[in-house]
Amino acid sequence: MLVLPLFFVVLLWYLIICIKWKKNIFDVLEKIPGPKWYPFIGTYHLFRGVSREEIFYKFGEVVGQYAPLFRSWNGSVGEVHLMKPDHLQIVLKSSVHIIKGPLYKYLFPWLGEGVFISEGAKWFLQRKFLTSSFHFKILDSFTETFADKGLSFVKKLESKANGTYFDIVPDSAVCTLGVICELAMGVPLEQITDNPLRHIKNVYEMTELVIWRYWNPLVKDPFFYLLPQGRRYTKILKELDDFSNKVIQIKRTQRLNTSKRDSMVGAESGKKNNLSFLDIIMDAKEKYGTVTNSDLRGLMNTFLLAGYETTAITISWAIFHLGNSPEIQQKAYEELQRVVKGKRVPTTMEELHQLKFLECIIKETLRLYPVLPLITRELTEDIQIENYTVPAGTQAVLHLFGVQRDPEHFPEPNKFDPDRFLPENLKDRHPFCYVPFSAGPRNCLGMRFALLELKALLASVISHYKITSMVTPEEIKFFAHVMIRSQNGIHVKIEKRDLVA
């Protein structure tokens, strides 16, 4: 007898929620131009029947129709798309709108409440103690490792300097994974696995499954885990966790076998040895109890993801454009020879800083292919964008890929032109038209680390090889992933240079 009254109570409660949603969210957001909304699926009907390879281009059509400001719906969740510097500035500078959007919740089982996803006091605390690990004095101590890894990268490529084209992305990924394991984890990659490409493949598949879930808003937990995609997600998650747990186990063994004096102070010299990022996290866990075991694994997985994949793709795109621009490549090589004065690679921070044109090449690469082409924020308060009110609860989708190719700020926006970043060309440029590492309170912690790593590794390749790309930029077919990828890889051929004695 209680079932029927309970049913009506639940129904009434649901209707009240729907009425409030329609009045406070839907009616307000629908004043912004955008594609037609349908119940349950929102505006994702636009992508029905569109192949995974064509999503990038279909999305581009939608953006082209409604840019620079429009709204869409992921089911009942409203999204406002922003692609003008003034609009991005409103969100990114805010200390209020710092909660990541719903896409990131699908990463939670893997990344946990690491600094990439965490919120509130936990995010603030993690950010605070991790910031010290990116101090310039610590980064200065990394230059030797960067140089060693650059030479290892060059040596690995040697067997491919045979006049044939090959995909540079896997080799770049193995190299940058080795860098992040050694510098961020304090554990050489060789001690963790003898098959790094398996881990790289798992990371790629995991992020691809996360994107699949986002593009299928009707697939909710726990039904997702009953599907083939869900079972694959579970299997890959276990393998990724096994990789992380092995790193943690090795690091704990290291710490047990190394006295506190030996790990922090050189014998009798008083010289401090730099701790890895993982050491800093473990110290916080052991001394202050501010990091749980789950936080530890989440932070480490975050470093592994953000620290190798983004740099690997950026290096690959830079090599691709150098292979299409012989004059730019030669100019970078000549600068390098002037700076290193006969050495094979730069080995000091001062030398890396002197590579100004190479830095312009990297910045131009990041303009065309930002670390994340889109980022999202959950608006916790109403904001005003031009004549529109965007209500709290809306997801702000910030188009870094679009804003950094805006012809108003970058003439001939699809052209690879490092001179855009020469000092004389930076005057009066809007501070938020170029934000490849995001900006504001949630900007990328590892930005300086990444730029130094990119510079060191690219310098190693340029000093040893002449690069030729197989296709032109106009022939590349993009693939929408966590980062912008090529559907068919990035194929180049390399020719050994005559090294200066």
Question: Which phi and psi (to 5°) does residue 128 adopt?
Answer: -65, -50
Residues annotated within the binding site are: 444
Among candidate residues 373, 341, 343, 339, the one with its CA nearest the CA of residue 359? 339
pLDDT, tens only, 408-457: 999 999 999 999 999 999 988 999 999 999 888 888 888 888 999 999 99
Here the tokens at position 297 are 């694994």
In 127-273, beta strands by DSSP E: 166-167
CA distance 392 to 385: 13
pLDDT, tens only, 144-202: 889 999 999 999 999 999 999 999 999 999 999 999 999 888 899 999 999 999 999 99
Q: What is the pLDDT of residue 162?
A: 93
pLDDT, tens only, 307-340: 888 999 999 999 999 999 999 999 999 999 999 9
CA distance 337 to 242: 44
CA distance 71 to 429: 27
CA distance 174 to 154: 12
CA distance 248 to 471: 42
Q: What is the pLDDT of residue 1?
A: 61
CA distance 239 to 243: 6
The greatest distance separating any two alpha carbons of the chain, rounded to the nearest whole angstrom, comes to 93
Adjacent-strand bridge partners of 81:
70, 397
Among candidate residues 198, 208, 196, the one with its CA nearest the CA of residue 233? 208
Q: What is the pLDDT of residue 121?
A: 64
Q: What is the pLDDT of residue 415?
A: 97
CA angle 274, 188, 207 (to 5 degrees): 105
Would you give the DSSP letter of residue 224?
A: G
CA distance 314 to 309: 9
* DSSP one-letter string for 2-17: -HHHHHHHHHHHHHHH
CA distance 181 to 178: 5
Q: What is the pLDDT of residue 263?
A: 44
Here the tokens at position 480 are 């929408």
* DSSP one-letter string for 274-297: PPPHHHHHHHHHHHH--S-HHHHH
* DSSP one-letter string for 90-119: HHHT-SS--EE-GGGGGGHHHHTT-TTT--
**Per-10-residue mean pLDDT for the chain, 501 residues long?**
78 88 93 94 90 92 94 93 96 88 80 69 68 70 89 95 96 94 90 94 93 82 90 94 90 79 44 67 73 77 84 96 98 96 90 96 97 91 95 95 95 97 91 93 84 95 97 95 91 87 44
With contact defined as beta carbons under 8 Å apart, do 122 and 457 qualify?
no
Residues annotated within the binding site for heme are: 444
Among candidate residues 303, 317, 290, 415, the one with its CA nearest the CA of residue 373? 317
Length of the chain: 501
> Ramachandran region of residue 40, left (φ > 0), alpha (ψ -120 to 50) or beta?
left
Domains of the chain: 27-496 (1.10.630.10)
Q: Report the amino acid identity of residue 417.
A: D
Among candidate residues 149, 170, 162, the one with its CA nearest the CA of residue 465? 162
